[in-house]
Amino acid sequence: MTQPAADQPESDLSAPVERPETLLVQVTGTDRPGISAGLLGVLDDVGAGIDDMEQVVIRGRLTLGALVRIPKGRDAVKELLHFAWERQLHIEFEVVEDEPTAPQPTFVVTALAQSVEPTHLRRVVDAIANGGGNIDRINRLSKYPVVSYEFVVAGGDFDKIRHELLFAASETAIDVAIQPVGLGRRAKRLVVLDVDSTLVQDEVIELLAAEAGVHRQVAAITTRAMEGHLDFEASLRERVALLEGLPVSAADEAWTKLTYTPGARTFMRTLKKLGYTTAIVSGGFSVFTDRIRDQLGIDYAESNVLEEVDGVFTGRLLGPVVDRGSKATALRRIAEAEGVPLEQTVAIGDGANDLDMLELAGLGIAFNAKPVVQAAADTSLSVPYLDAILFLLGISREEVEAADLTSSG
């Protein structure tokens, strides 16, 4: 057995190992290139370790925080103070416990409106606090076409926070949504939309009814059906019967009057650029949805088919009716065909016949919806812009514009 040299003492294995000191370092000041690199260079020189680091810049003002482990006997504070002095930065230190905190459930709350004022944000943060949540981070997602903010929340009771947020939204002109944070939120891969009063501003059967001179009768039935007061299939067949004798060519004239919802083209274009599969599932008619599919580059389109004989509509439908149940079935079928788990799907609609689809999807969004739909959906938007839904998916306005620039390039 080898013995230690006489002039070298044996290691004392029982001696306590000195643990590094954990510091929270906070740097603020005017942003300029090289600050992060300089800070990391100092930490590297003193042999420090990094447990966490975050940085944000607002209007040229930098806030940088780092949780670092400083070896005992290394004068890191002096070096950091010198670094800050050279660059005219303000720096603060706080000794913190180095024990890791237990993981907490994490949620993301999105708040958006045409104009977001302090009173709106106050109601949101009060709702989070009342539900026991703590805000870890606040990000602005957009200034246009709506203002939106994202709050990353640690801890708290999901259901209670959601209840508090809904109450806050009911008293202010702001939309709010809460979702668990995780891969599922940014990994949404299939978006299925209703068409009438969602992707487009119209009820397409009413466009045809106007050409047939029966708009008033059809509109009254449509309103009651979308509010859930009438059986959808029976009401649809009743309305279609009023189109008997209308020339098929009238659909071309009706098409010219169809109006997309503001932001619809941006929404679909961005989803396509980001690799989403898109589908429209409509209680309307293929004479419209096939054109919409081709014009917007949508992957799937399912809707009702009007029977035509000798160039006129007969007032009857071909095949099974696309109704509340079949919309959900279509979502499931498309998800299976694309290999997309249901939790990675998004459904968007406004009427009672969308309820099953909204419930089945991983995220169901009521868009400018009837009250019965708002009450049942995961979240509800009342702003008039369809592309605002991108912000609920955690996609910022800057990312939308970057996707547009890439597409145009």
* Token pair 């119209």 in the structure block, residue: 202
Q: Count CB-CB contacts under 10 A for residue 41.
A: 12
Cα 165 to Cα 109: distance, rounded to the nearest angstrom:
9
Task: State which H helix or E strand residue 403 sits in.
Answer: helix 397-408
- What is the secondary structure of 335-386 as a DSSP string? HHHHT--GGGEEEEE-SGGGHHHHHHSSEEEEES--HHHHHHSSEEE-SS-G
Q: Count CB-CB contacts under 10 A for residue 84.
A: 21
Cα 39 to Cα 83: distance, rounded to the nearest angstrom:
7
Q: Would you state the structure tokens that stand for residue 116, as one six-digit string?
A: 């977001």
Catalytic residue among 194, 350, 378, 387: 194
What b/e readout covers 374-401, taking b as 16+ CB neighbours within 10 angstroms? bebbbbbbbbebbbbbbbbbbbbbebbe
Cα 388 to Cα 383: distance, rounded to the nearest angstrom:
8
Respond yes or no: is residue 404 known to be catalytic. Answer: no
Respond yes or no: is residue 202 known to be catalytic. Answer: no
Alpha helices by DSSP H, 46-75: none
Fill in the DSSP letter of residue 3: P
Catalytic residue among 31, 44, 75, 196: 196
Whether omega for the bond prior to residue 71 falls within 30 degrees of 0, making it cis, is no
Catalytic center residues: 194, 196
